[in-house]
């Protein structure tokens, strides 16, 4: 093996090591960003009717936040923020009886989440 081939192999190995290290750092940073976004979503949920709705339905918010894609949680937040039946929601949340949640724009998504996490 000549020196040129040896230098070429070492350069390729160094490039692989550098690329692997950069990839690892990028993945770690991405997890940090996702964690911060999920914390912001949790803050938004806590000030909406969505928080007591999750509790009333027996859905753990941490599990909910960490199981669903961020875009799906954001969609459900918007559904709650733009809900056209806040009075029905308040009545359902205040009731101790069995409640039909079909008025809720997130009802089907919450039911699916409950089924998927059993």
Q: What is the pLDDT of residues 23-45, one digit of tens each?
A: 999 999 999 998 999 999 999 99
Residue with tokens 């976004």: 37
Burial of 42 (0-12, 13-18, 19+ CB in 10 A): middle
Tell me if the pTM is above 0.85: no
Contact 106, 80 (CB under 8 A): yes
Residue 3 has pLDDT above 90, yes or no: no
Q: In this model, does residue 96 exceed pLDDT 90?
A: no
Mean pLDDT of the chain: 92
What DSSP designation does 6 have? H
């Amino acid at each position: 093996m000549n020196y040129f081939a040896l230098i070429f192999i070492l350069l390729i190995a160094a490039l692989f090591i550098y690329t692997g290290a950069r990839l690892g750092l990028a993945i770690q940073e991405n997890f940090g960003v996702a964690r911060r976004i999920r914390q912001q979503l949790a803050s938004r949920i806590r000030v909406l009717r969505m928080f007591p709705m999750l509790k009333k339905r027996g859905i753990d918010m941490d599990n909910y936040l960490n199981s669903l894609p961020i875009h799906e949680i954001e969609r459900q937040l918007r559904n709650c923020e733009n809900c056209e039946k806040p009075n029905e929601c308040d009545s359902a949340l205040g009731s101790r009886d069995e409640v039909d949640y079909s008025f809720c724009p997130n009802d089907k998504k919450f039911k699916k989440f409950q089924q998927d996490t059993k």
